[in-house]
Structure 1
Amino acid sequence: MLQPKLRFYLDENMDPEIAEQLRQRGIDVLAARDVDLLSVSDGVQLRYAVADGRVLCTKDAGFTDPTTWDLEHYGIVFFTDSSVSIGYAVNALQDLYRNETPENMKNSLRYM
């Protein structure tokens, strides 16, 4: 039986090229620009990810305080280096995709 796989949503703080490279590797990923969610609040970004069943990926430290969000989510991946390279982000998310399940990611905050 196939195990469910992670699906990612990259907020506007993440380079959309990361999404392009992940798609080329067969990973289900959307970027904020793909769904016309540029310049919207953090809450809107997170609610979109939740509604679409996706792990939110960000460099926005506003997402690192779990008491801020009063809803269950499919996981948040926070890149601590605001100048993270595209290659590093792609490899880190691909590793997470290969090694984690949606169940394990639920309501978790991962630092990369």
Structure 2
Amino acid sequence: MSQPKIRFYLDENMDPKISEQLRRRGLDALSARDVGLLNVADGVQLRFAAAHGRVLCSKDSDFADPANWVVKHDGIAYFPDRSVSIGYAINALLELYRKETAENLKNSLRYL
């Protein structure tokens, strides 16, 4: 039986071009813009990702603190460098996708 694939959700701090490029490469990725969740609280972003079985991708430092995790989730991919390039973010998420399983990411934080 195959492992469930990692599915990504990029909050409003991440450029939506990243999710577009991930989709072009065959990955399941949505942005906050895709689902109409711009200018909403961090908890709403995390709840959406968790409810839809998606790893939350963000540059928001609030997500780096487990005290701010309002629900059990499918993982957080955190980019501490707020000026990270689109290309770097795409490559980092592709690498995460190749090396990790959805199960291993549950309720975890990965610094990218």
TM-score (norm 1): 0.97
Task: Tell whether 2:24 aligns with 1:24.
Answer: yes
Q: Which amino acid aligns with 2:32?
A: A
Unaligned runs of 5+ in 2: none
Question: C-alpha distance in 1, partners of 2:69/2:33?
Answer: 23
Q: Deviation above 2 Å: which 4+ runs of structure 1?
A: none
Cα drift, residue 69 of structure 1: 1.7
TM-score (norm 2): 0.97
Unaligned runs of 5+ in 1: none
RMSD: 0.8
Q: Percent identity between the aligned chains?
A: 69
Describe the superposition over 1:9-41 as per-residue Cα deviations: whole angstroms up to 9, x where unpaired. 000000000001100000000000000000000
Q: Which amino acid aligns with 1:8?
A: F
Residue pair 2:3, 2:102 contacting (<8 A) in 1 also: no
95-104 or 8-17: bigger deviation: 95-104
Task: Tell whether 2:110 aligns with 1:110.
Answer: yes
Aligned residues: 112
